[in-house]
Structure 1
């Protein structure tokens, strides 16, 4: 009887052991945190646990030498004011961290108006409750964030630094759906508040229907005095050239002084652009429920329930540590994130300084060689008016070694 033997030398065994150790080290180095979620009474692991005491006093001290009207693009926050994650991760979470598959519903709508309503719902779901006094890290040039959720693959890259332009490409090959974002916040200090205007364009393509929906983002408003608070404000326009249907949404905050009125209100309408006829009215609160009222028959229904969509969200996990890119946000900022989670502010300052200094060194090296940095996953362009746009290089986003449910 023939027998086959597999022989292992000491060198082979050592190689296998070293490989396993290296993979475990990489896995341990990746720090992934709970996504921004609708906080409920049952949430014990709240983002609020990241914050330090006396936050308002610390913020006032931090901004005492900043002049009103100043652009905060180059303003560096100490780790004490950071969430343990990058802005790229926050953008990505708003797309892949949902309790229901909203993108599929956009594609399966039978009529154009049903699909537009689903797109409106999907757009509202990307608005996540912010927390006063805390901000994510500013991504470094070339940083990426890559996550898969079922058939949805999401890839982000920091494609420019000044201004800080972030690009997002999300695809679901099964549903034949594609999402492309190019956006860059411009924050200004106004003495008693900070407003971050989110410039750029978001596109959602339903390829089975030959429809492209273009939309923008609301702006982030941070009120420091007299009553601290943070909210999303401004107008969001959603339009589809192919169908002539459009939606106009308005995010409304409390009064300037923070007293009276409802919080996190959203109002709007869905119109037929060809006739300017209002088909539906949108009303509600983006952090609770949003309703749609048919102007023809007065029927009203809930199209968005934040508690169902953005509560109890799961933290992504690493499926294949060896395949995680070295440019991954969760890897670049891992030491800083872990220090913040441990509330070790000295280590946090050292870790943040290390990442920022490495970025400066890479910039000096490129300048000395006369090399222009080129994004790996997107092509970028700028109009005469100064508006930025990004296009993905690949048609479909590949599967990621980082996954979420």
Structure 2
């Protein structure tokens, strides 16, 4: 799935580029300039970019690779042969799952980690549980949701994260201001991130299916008694001069103390003008609704018209129970300023997402991670891309994918089904976290 953030691709020259995808490994050679790696401690460069160097014991500081948010730009004119090769494989309407993608469009992180960006404003998320009135909670859900898409690195580069390996897991947490309140701050040993505490927002994601590609993720804040469970099936299609990524699935915000669920859907992503200067936009209609209270919202992510320069526009309406007229309308840009207007009284509120503080997620060091955790799995690919050692990145990526194919063949030969670790399948393509907060709290109450 193409990264949803960033509006243009300005491609810079690289060294010895190749292309590959999750199921195919046809290399496409391109010429670039090699880089070298320094062998001392990490420190910022004079240009502001983090220089990743080796630790005292000689091992590369892989954690620093993921904290380095600078992405090289790309000059498309230097990659014309690669783009032509890509287009030669596709036709309009074709599913792009099996298509070989050029290496230079890869972002240095897994799709599972990208989903964590929905919680880059964790304070906005947990505030939902603090509000006493159902209307106020609905408005806060909408504010959190609409503010989540701009988050992450403020880069002009739009790239494709790694396709997660089946069984891959990503964990992280956020230290939330005022996340404790008057409650205890004990460790949550049975939570999704067992080394975290009650005052922290925790997140876990798992790649639960490879064909079709489905990711499931879950977040919770113990003290605020709020959680979020989602599954997304990504399906991409070639549309001529554009690529569309359909995000099929839904998420559910569970406000436990009020026994409320807010069900949200997700917009599609579009890579436009792929032959000239590509840029990314969101499009489609999404819904947010609370079955218990009857409050609901419709959001339109408006794609850029053929004529005109308006991009990244949204239009939303929020309705009360059994009401046909919205009590709140929202307009503006999902990556800029949004204007909230109450129709029943003369009141307006402007939210500029670029002025909202992004709270950095915390990820445990790679040395302490399990073998199937995202940053540990992809560390050699990430290092190769960061230092323009594309052959090394290609070999590391192909090794991961070949291992996945070998394991799938072995299961097929043995007649074994794949078993998810953290999520349970419900229905055809729906997944829920096995030990959600509401269930654990209920068990604690029953035991006492």
Instruction: Output the TM-score relative to the length of structure 1.
Output: 0.81
Deviation at 1:279, TM superposition (A): 0.5
Q: Cα–Cα, structure 1 residues 90 and 144, in superposed 2: closer, same or farther, change >3 Å?
A: same
Tell me, yes or no, if the aligned pair for 1:106 and 1:118 is still in contact at 8 Å.
yes
SS of equivalent to 2:326: strand
1:56–1:133 contact (8 Å) kept in structure 2: no
Match of 2:404 in 1: 359
Say whether 1:155 aligns with 2:204.
Answer: yes
Per-residue CA deviations over 1:161-216 (Å, capped at 9, x if unaligned) read: 11100000111111000100011111100111111111001100111111100010
Output the aligned Cα RMSD: 2.5
Could you say which residue in structure 2 is the equivalent of 1:290? Answer: 338
Does structure 2 conserve the Cα–Cα contact (< 8 Å) formed by 1:284 and 1:290?
yes
Provide Cα deviations, 1:272-322, integer angstroms capped at 9, x if missing partner.
2412231011111111121210101231112x32113365x6464435843
Q: Structure 1: how far apart are the matches of 2:149 and 2:357? A: 10
**Cα distance in 2 between the residues matched to 1:325 and 1:214:** 32
Tell me the distance in 1 between the aligned counterparts of 2:298 and 2:169.
32
1:246 aligns with 2:296: yes
Q: Choose between structure 1 and 2: higher strand proportion.
A: 1
The answer to which of 169-178 and 121-130 deviates more is: 121-130
Matched, 1:93 2:78: no
State the distance in 2 between where 1:26 and 1:112 align. 53
1:112 to 118, 124, 134: 134
Aligned-partner Cα distance in 2 for 1:131–1:345:
22
Question: Partners in 2 of 1:152 and 1:315 — Cα distance?
Answer: 9
Distance 2:313 2:378 in 1: 34
| SS of structure 2 residue aligned to 1:292 | strand
Which structure would you say has the larger RCO, counting Cα contacts within 8 Å and 6 or more residues apart?
A: 1
Question: 1:328 and 2:373 equivalent?
Answer: yes
1:77 is the counterpart of 2:122: no
Partner of 1:13: none
Q: Does 1:125 align with 2:147?
A: yes
Match among 309, 315, 328 for residue 261 of structure 1: 309
For the residues of structure 2 that align with 1:271 and 1:119, how far apart are their CA atoms? Answer: 13
CA shift for structure 1 position 349? 1.1
- Structure 1 gaps of 5+ residues are 1-23, 36-44, 398-405
Task: Give the Å deviation of 1:395.
Answer: 2.4
Distance 1:209 1:56 in 2: 55
Matching residue of 1:143: 168
Partner residue, 1:176: 225
How far apart in 2 are the matches of 1:154 and 1:26? 28
The whole-number CA distance in structure 2 between the counterparts of 1:138 and 1:144 is: 12
Q: Does the aligned pair in 2 maintain the 1:272–1:278 contact within 8 Å?
A: yes
8 A contact 2:366–2:375 mirrored in 1? no
SS in 2 for 1:208: helix
